Amino acid sequence: MTFEFSVPVLVVGGGACGCVAALAARDAGAEVLLIEADARPLGSTGMTLGLVCAADTKAQAAAGIEDSADAFFEDIMAKSRGLANPVIARALAEQSGPALDWLAQTHDFPLEIDLGFRPAYGNRTYRMHGWPGHGGEDLVGLLHRRLAEAGVDVLLQAKLADVVADENGKVLGAVIERPGGDLERVGCDTLILACGGFAANRAMLVRYIPEMADARNNGHEGSQGTGIRIGEALGAAIGDMGSYQGYAMLTDPQGISVSPQVLVEGGVLVNSAGLRFTDETKDIAGMVHPVMAQDGGTVWTIYDERIEEATAYTPDMQALNALNAAKRAASAEILAAQIGVPTEALSASLADACSARNKGAADSTGRVWGEELPPHGSLRALKVVGAIYHTQGGLEIDGHARVLRPDDTPLPNLFAGGGAARSVSGPSSWGYLPAMGLCTAVTLGRIAGMSAAKQALHPTDR
């Protein structure tokens, strides 16, 4: 096949992973072309809080927080019950901090440690990094501004249609579909797949995650598993395809996520009978299942004025507050009438939590209360449903983000990160750590970019 032109590094996907990969490859001295299917790049990143989980960063040190790569690795393996790929887990643990420091120092990203997101759901210390007052959509926009400043060519409305490879699986180039169906052929020395997972592909959900095939999807519609399917066609292995991030608090009808800090600060979930039904602090992703199992598949997030104030700085809560989405009441009795649940049941549910907290004992759901206080006084309620946000399984990779065959040998010049690559949540949802989605996107993106640039510039050094 004849290619119209060729580049050393071709990156597929304009979300966080692809942008970071392109920046890293450009910093390493390689010419880069990034292609993005949409006219406006957002991807799954644009639908997040914009928080990145990372360890041993300069932002942590500046805030007086002690952390280490070893501690992060231990937390990843503990949360995944020892089933995460230890090679990928070690790469994330050791390289997430340097990746965020590089973005902050080299590319002027205003990343800070989010002290409002207390350690929870498997993280032993403060690891949430973000851009204060900004979410994932702003993060993608800033990444693309930095790409332009770095001289990286970006081609929008350019969908990966096919990959051309030789008999050994070496990628020679890609076929790109443009608006109107026109095809362009671009050669490349290395290819990075950063085009998301498969949460929007129902056929793949039915095959790999049947329990979520009919769930609400709050991920990007472009998450069709393109990178995974292309990698498989080239001979790649896949892993943890049953892994995903579910989330229990997507507001109905607003379609805006309730910040997990609401539960961390003391919020609770009650069903249509006014009863709590799960420990809200046990599993940030797996909690989607008990929520979906409730009558009608909808529940209420209950919190109070104090929690509202503590979480008001987060972009999603700002949006919900601006819409006046929450029901508000001066007492549990009034709130119960507003949301249509039995008064005695709601009052008893909140009293049980308060009593357990005062006694220092577990409540009826098994939740052990610490410094946080259960909802009391002036109350709030948001109607929520469970949804799938993104998948966590994908192409098998090594610590250099090289895509691997079933025999663990790397394909000649194929790299992957973000939703296209296997993550570290184990085989299901319960192994997911908060903000691990953007951790893998940013960290593996940087690793893939550096690795691809090194190979393209020095092919004999492989």
In angstroms, rounded to a whole number, what is the distance separating the alpha carbons of residues 333 and 425?
Answer: 41
Q: What percent of the chain has pLDDT over 90?
A: 92
CB atoms near residue 204 (< 10 Å): 21
What average pLDDT does this structure show over 165-182?
A: 94
In angstroms, rounded to a whole number, what is the distance separating the alpha carbons of residues 210 and 450?
Answer: 36
**pLDDT of 357 above 60:** yes
**pLDDT of 170 above 80:** yes
Given this model, what pLDDT does residue 217 score? 92
Residue 40: pLDDT band with limits 50, 70, 90: confident
Q: Which residue has the tokens 């640039």?
A: 453
1-20 tens-digit pLDDT: 789 999 999 999 999 999 99
What average pLDDT does this structure show over 237-259?
A: 96
Given this model, what pLDDT does residue 421 score? 97
194-234 tens-digit pLDDT: 999 999 999 999 999 999 999 999 988 889 999 999 999 99
Minimal CA–CA distance to 422: which of 391, 393, 390?
393
What average pLDDT does this structure show over 75-79?
A: 97
Given this model, what pLDDT does residue 105 score? 97
What average pLDDT does this structure show over 85-101?
A: 98
* Side chain identity at residue 195, one-letter code: C
What average pLDDT does this structure show over 225-250?
A: 96
What is the value of pTM for the model shown? 0.94
**257, 249 contact by CB (below 8 A):** yes
Tell me which DSSP letter residue 93 carries: H
Rounded to the nearest integer, the mean pLDDT of the chain is 95
Structure tokens, 130? 């973000």
What average pLDDT does this structure show over 123-136?
A: 93
Minimal CA–CA distance to 211: which of 388, 362, 69?
388
418-452 tens-digit pLDDT: 999 999 999 999 999 999 999 999 999 999 999 99
Task: Give the CA distances from residue 29 to residues 6, 189, 449, 453, in Å, rounded to whole numbers and listed in that order.
Answer: 16, 14, 11, 7
